[in-house]
Amino acid sequence: MVIDCHGHYTTVPHEVQAFREAQITGRLSGSALEVNAAITDDQLRESVRPQLAFQAARGTDLTIFSPRASAMGHHVGDRAANAQWAQLCNDLVHRVCRLFPKQFVGVCQLPQTVGGSPGDWGGELERCVNELGFVGCNLNPDPSGGHWTAPPLTDRTWYPLYERLVELDVPAMVHVSASCNPNFHATGAHYLNADTTAFMQFLTGDLFRDFPTLRFVIPHGGGAVPYHWGRYRGLAQDMKRPPLVDLIRDNIFFDTCVYHSPGMELLLKVMPVDNIVFGSEMVGAVRSIDPETGHYFDDTKRYIEQISPLGVDARRKIFELNARKVYPRIVPLIDAAASAPGATNTSR
- Residues taking part in catalysis: 281
CA dihedral 43, 46, 52, 54 (to 10 degrees): -130
Which of 141, 143, 219, 279 binds a copy of itself (CB under 8 A)? It is: 141
The one among 13, 201, 242, 307 contacting a copy of itself by CB under 8 A: 201
Residue 180 binds to a copy of itself (criterion: CB under 8 A): no
Asked if residues 254 and 267 have their Cβ atoms less than 8 Å apart, the reply is yes
Residues 239-278 interacting with a copy of itself (rule: CB under 8 A)? 258-263, 265-266, 269-270
Alpha helices in the chain (DSSP H): 14-25, 32-38, 41-47, 49-58, 79-99, 122-126, 159-168, 191-204, 207-210, 229-238, 244-248, 261-270, 300-305, 312-316, 322-326, 330-339
Return the range that interacts with a copy of itself (CB under 8 A); candidates 15-23, 32-40, 141-149, 312-320: 141-149
Out of 26, 182, 309, 341, the only residue in the binding site for a copy of itself (CB under 8 A) is: 182
Alpha-carbon gap, residue 300 to 282, rounded angstroms: 9
Nearer to a copy of itself, 82 or 280 (CB): 280
CA–CA separation, 348 vs 346, rounded Å? 6
The pattern of x and - marking residues 3 through 22 that bind a copy of itself according to CB under 8 A reads: --------------------
State the minimum distance, in angstroms, from the CB of residue 123 to a copy of itself. Answer: 26
**Running DSSP on this structure, what letter comes out for residue 69?**
S
At how many degrees (to 10) do helices 79-99 and 14-25 cross?
170
Q: In sequence order, what are the residues at sequence separation of 6 or more whose Cβ sits closer than 8 angstroms to the Cβ of residue 144?
A: 74, 75, 114, 150, 180
Stretch that binds a copy of itself, among 48-56, 110-118, 166-174, 233-241 (CB under 8 A): 233-241
The answer to whether 61 touches 344, Cβ cutoff 8 Å, is: no
| Residue of 189, 273, 314, 336 that binds a copy of itself (CB under 8 A) | 189
Binding-site member from 30, 234, 311, 332 for a copy of itself (CB under 8 A): 234
Site for a copy of itself in 202-231 (CB under 8 A): 203-204, 220-221, 223-224, 226-231
Shortest reach from residue 204's CB to a copy of itself, in Å: 6
- Tally Cβ neighbours within 10 Å of residue 294: 7
Residue 255: phi and psi, rounded to 5, are -90, 175
Q: Which is nearer to a copy of itself, 199 or 327 (CB)?
A: 199
d(CA 187, CA 189): 6
Closest CB to a copy of itself among 193 and 345?
Answer: 193
Q: Which is nearer to a copy of itself, 274 or 290 (CB)?
A: 290
CA–CA distance, 86 with 67 (Å, rounded to integer): 8
188 near a copy of itself, judged by CB under 8 A: yes
Beta bridge partners of 217: 173, 253
Which residue lies nearer to a copy of itself by CB, 67 or 146? 146
Q: Applying CB under 8 A, which residues contact a copy of itself?
A: 141-142, 146-148, 150-152, 155, 181-185, 187-189, 192-193, 196-197, 199-201, 203-204, 220-221, 223-224, 226-235, 237-238, 258-263, 265-266, 269-270, 285-288, 290-292, 297-298
